[in-house]
Chain A
């Protein structure tokens, strides 16, 4: 990763601890993004290529809500970080609404069409949302007002950024929430829909509503992960930037490695890819002459390719049952 601080710790153990946190944090980010992909895939059987664009839209919403309109600061008192989290939730909600609209207009009519067409529709969506969001972001550098900024603390001799802790925490909350959600009535309906749409319909499950919920949740997760990916060690100093739209593509190896339809796979895949990328970046740095600069960014794809050769449907993905 280019944006990570390459502060060398005093000894090997500190370097290791520092790299460990870095890897955990990046892995959590990937897992968050992957979770968004997986939720949408489980319901509608398509990879949503527009996740990155939705993430960019989400960061833009946050900056509008929190910095420009000063919501909720203009109404309530209390510490700034509470405000920021409320604004984060509002931005995620706004993106969820965007996801709902998009799903209703373009995805719902495509149910039953070939996978390829559905996936390409989301590619078209990606272009539209990205261009509109690019133009919105472009006018002024948009500050996100992240409460902990670029601050770090020390564990022994290892430097750890607060953003790392925040990302790990956020991923933990999201995955616990998803786990709980799948135990609720709606969650069971979603699992049934993922298993067999027609059978779910026959049981009286409102499949259209399940789609809507999945897209709303996926878009909200995209917004949250996009915002966390714009934080100092990863993004350019907490600004909403155009790169945000492409960050989601870097999480695709995690989704594929874990298995497209597995929530556990998203978590494990994200962590594996995050660890591989960060540890390769740290410990193979002396071989750049042979493997080229910026090799870390290719590591996820190499890991994914190797993983797929062993298990073609990812580690936790269900193998497709093929009939004649």
Chain B
């Protein structure tokens, strides 16, 4: 069997999650790195541009990326597997988040909240979002293609309006309300036995709250990703892919379209609800506008950049989309230093970067600068937009496609095909 990687002798062998030893080893290494990442590793803080990889601000960003991954996995089931366009994924994230705050939040004179523990509000966030998904499905299944995209877009606006109708849940004004912390406790007022939102001491190590949250979210992401990967190779997953590829043909083969599309909506909303609740809890306080169209576009971008329909692609894409601005900032910062200190490329960097009033360049490093040259925050939005276009034009399979190309190069060695 060695040397013939595409030879499968049984159906079970072909549908395995981990068909090759290389894949197992790579995944194992990846998990080790993922677990060690939040702790200050001695090598990282020596590297020039990625020096920030150990600090707390970076870790908080990674935590956001992890929450984002959970919801993106959900959208992948709806769009990647079942082929249904959704611009309303943030709506379901919002449903989950507000379920969480209603169940776990603290009540006051003008706010509702039942103060229940996390092991109740987190699953409930997913379940309620899934229920809303099922409730929406009859309308959504009836329309297809771009019409569906706009219908789901309508959900976002209706959701934003509902948050204004119920200030008791969404919180008054533009600040929003406070979400319950990530902590495990038995019942309402008990002492938490696992608290992810405070610094503490685990085994022999001091561990801060970001590291704790990271490890907790990592476990959730791994479980959710594993479930998503398994779903793709189950009966349901195959039915969804049949619907994606040709819905009429799928129905002729006996795949009930209506039921499976509803299932896809329910599962994807479940993921969105969990992701939304965790994201909100991580952010402590959020305005309702957080669950807007722009967020939904970001999810689609994550899927496209990572690679539609692939769990690993979605994880890469989400990580990339959420953290890329940090890399842009760091690179611009590094270029600024190069330009100031002088060096081989200092003239070139000086040409690119505007360091102050009157200095020419394409990018301004002044935070408050508006207009031209572009501030860094505008630059990373533009890069993000350009990346969406670039990947669609040149690499429709996304980062996953790039990885496949690299892999096939080695796999087919010494042949180039």
Contacts and interface: CB of A to CB of B under 8 A. Distances in A.
B293 interface: yes
Name the prevailing secondary structure of the A interface residues. helix
A20 B157 CA distance: 26
B385 A125 contact: yes
A127 B143 contact: no
Contacts of B246: 324
A152 interface: no
A308 B142 contact: yes
Contacts of A109: 393
B382 to A, nearest CB: 5
Contacts of B158: 298, 301-302
Interface in B123-180: 139, 142-147, 149-151, 153-154, 157-158, 161-162, 164-165
A297 B392 contact: no
Interface residues of B, number: 48
Interface string B360-403: 00000000001110110010011011111100110010000000
B33 interface: no
A131 B370 CA distance: 11
Interface in B96-132: none
Taking residues whose C-beta sits less than 8 angstroms from the other chain, chain A's interface range is 35 or more
B388 A127 contact: yes
A64 B375 CA distance: 22
A46 B387 CA distance: 20
Nearest to B146: A47
A140 to B, nearest CB: 8
B389 A125 contact: yes
B393 A106 contact: yes
Contacts of A128: 382, 385-386, 389
A30 to B, nearest CB: 14
Contacts of A301: 154, 157-158
A119 interface: yes
Contact of B161 (A138, A294, A324): A294
A55 to B, nearest CB: 16
A123 B388 contact: yes
A196 interface: no
B300 interface: yes
A256 B382 contact: no
A309 B148 CA distance: 12
Interface string A119-130: 111011111100
Interface stretch (B12-20, B186-194, B201-209, B247-255): B247-255
Interface in A293-324: 293-295, 297-298, 301-302, 304-305, 308-309, 312-314, 320, 322-324
Interface in A216-266: 249, 252-253, 255-256, 260
B305 to A, nearest CB: 10
B381 A131 contact: yes
A204 interface: no
A33 B387 CA distance: 27
A296 B143 CA distance: 24
A106 B389 CA distance: 7
Interface string A131-144: 11011101100000
A260 B146 contact: yes
Contacts of B247: 322
B371 A136 contact: yes
Nearest to A323: B248
8 contacts: A115-B146, A116-B79, A131-B381, A249-B153, A298-B157, A308-B142, A314-B147, A324-B246
